[in-house]
């Protein structure tokens, strides 16, 4: 998360003013970690004491590379909703409709990634009909747009479905139209998740020698975390006594608890001796939140070295967590809670890929009394 800092005079004292670039729920919580930090509505910004130790803690919490230093305070924006609007959006004739969409998404507290995706799809929709107000467009126009984008941009099923969600949100939530069924959603594909065997998981962890990298991958597997959840873990989210991991605001903004393995606890103690994270459990080289890109690179190197299935991602560790628990007799209802799924149907997909379940089945040919033919009989 990037922040801008600038000189600020408050109550005749020199202070450091701070503005976040973008929206992040953790920002106020991080600011409260700095002694003497204050939020002033009149100044409409956070500010901290103009001291070396305050600035040093700021760098540690956010990362030196995430701090943009300004010589003077930036001019206030008249329309707050334009903060995250890209320059190319300004060329749209009905760009105010785009701002209204963004404002409604922010009011309903959608995630940053969802807001970014919905804005992108809706901007493409406005650009496709540059001289028509979106309120005047009909279902047939939406279908024409989706068909064109799918052909020209080669959208995936999920991209097309998300575009429909963005348009549906605009017409129903922004314009207040009645809820409508959109029949041009792609058919749902029934794909089984890729899973490591337990032997492959062992091989994967054996080739990772950096204690920080190993801790990251092992906690993702041992607690069934999504990659985004792993970088948002705070030190205080770990409870060694109860052996739990608290996942705050996971997918769908749902809090949950997962298990903390004894082996991970041992590894974490060594990790804390080697590294001293200030706030986040895993921090970058210059402080601040660790990046998902770095975890992906760690994982790809481990896959290449270990020789396990190369067609896997970090998310495969989460799939493997659920599958291996199921194979060891853990009730599906408990796995559902650990994964943070809303529906049991989502978790039930793992019943199709367990190794023990597959071993119980055999081909009907095995039940037939057929003597194997000799080679000379076939010629």
- Could you list the active site residues? 226, 251, 315, 318, 341, 350
φ/ψ bin of 104: left (φ > 0), alpha (ψ from -120 to 50), beta (otherwise): alpha
The DSSP code for 60 is H
Spatial contact of 186 and 147, defined as CB atoms under 8 Å apart? no
Q: Which residues are CB-neighbours of 293 under 8 A, at least 6 positions away?
A: none
Residue 235 token pair = 């030190």
* Closest of 160, 285, 263, 178 to residue 218, by C-alpha: 263
- What sign does the CA torsion over 161, 162, 166, 172 have? positive
Q: How many whole angstroms separate alpha carbon 162 and alpha carbon 342? A: 19
- Other C-beta atoms within 10 Å of 78: how many? 6
Chain position carrying tokens 């092992």:
218
Report phi then psi at 289, rounded to 5: -70, 140
Q: Which residues are CB-neighbours of 290 under 8 A, at least 6 positions away?
A: 216, 231, 280, 282, 283, 284
């Amino acid at each position: 998360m990037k922040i801008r800092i600038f000189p600020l005079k408050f109550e005749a004292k020199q202070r450091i003013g701070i503005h976040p670039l973008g929206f992040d729920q953790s920002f106020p919580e991080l600011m409260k970690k700095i002694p003497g930090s204050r939020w002033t509505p009149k100044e409409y910004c956070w500010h901290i004491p103009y001291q070396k130790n305050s600035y040093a803690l700021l760098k540690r919490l956010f990362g030196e590379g995430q701090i943009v230093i300004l010589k003077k305070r930036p001019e206030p924006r008249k329309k707050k909703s334009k903060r995250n609007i890209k320059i190319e959006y300004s060329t749209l004739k009905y760009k105010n409709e785009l701002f209204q969409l963004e404002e409604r998404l922010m009011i309903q507290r959608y995630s940053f990634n969802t807001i970014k995706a919905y804005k992108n799809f809706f901007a493409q929709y406005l650009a496709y009909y540059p001289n028509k107000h979106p309120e005047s467009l009909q279902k047939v126009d939406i279908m024409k747009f989706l068909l064109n984008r799918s052909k020209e941009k080669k959208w995936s099923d999920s991209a097309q479905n998300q575009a429909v969600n963005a348009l549906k949100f605009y017409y129903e939530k922004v314009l207040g139209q009645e809820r409508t069924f959109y029949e041009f959603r792609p058919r749902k594909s029934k794909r089984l998740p890729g899973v490591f065997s337990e032997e492959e998981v062992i091989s994967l962890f054996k080739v990772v020698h950096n204690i920080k990298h190993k801790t990251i991958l092992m906690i993702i597997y041992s607690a069934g975390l999504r990659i985004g959840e792993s970088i948002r873990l705070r030190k205080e989210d770990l409870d060694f006594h109860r052996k739990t991991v608290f996942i705050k605001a996971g997918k769908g903004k749902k809090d949950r608890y997962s298990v903390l393995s004894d082996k991970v606890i041992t590894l974490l103690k060594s990790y804390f001796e080697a590294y001293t994270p200030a706030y986040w459990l895993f921090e970058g080289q210059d402080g601040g939140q660790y990046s998902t890109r770095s975890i992906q690179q760690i994982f790809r190197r481990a896959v290449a070295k270990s020789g396990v299935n190369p067609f896997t991602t970090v998310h495969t560790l989460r799939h493997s967590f659920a599958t291996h628990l199921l194979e060891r007799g853990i009730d599906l209802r408990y796995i559902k809670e650990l994964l943070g799924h809303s529906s049991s149907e989502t978790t039930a997909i793992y019943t199709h890929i367990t190794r023990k379940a597959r071993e119980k089945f055999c081909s009907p040919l095995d039940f037939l009394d057929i003597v194997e033919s000799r080679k000379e009989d076939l010629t």
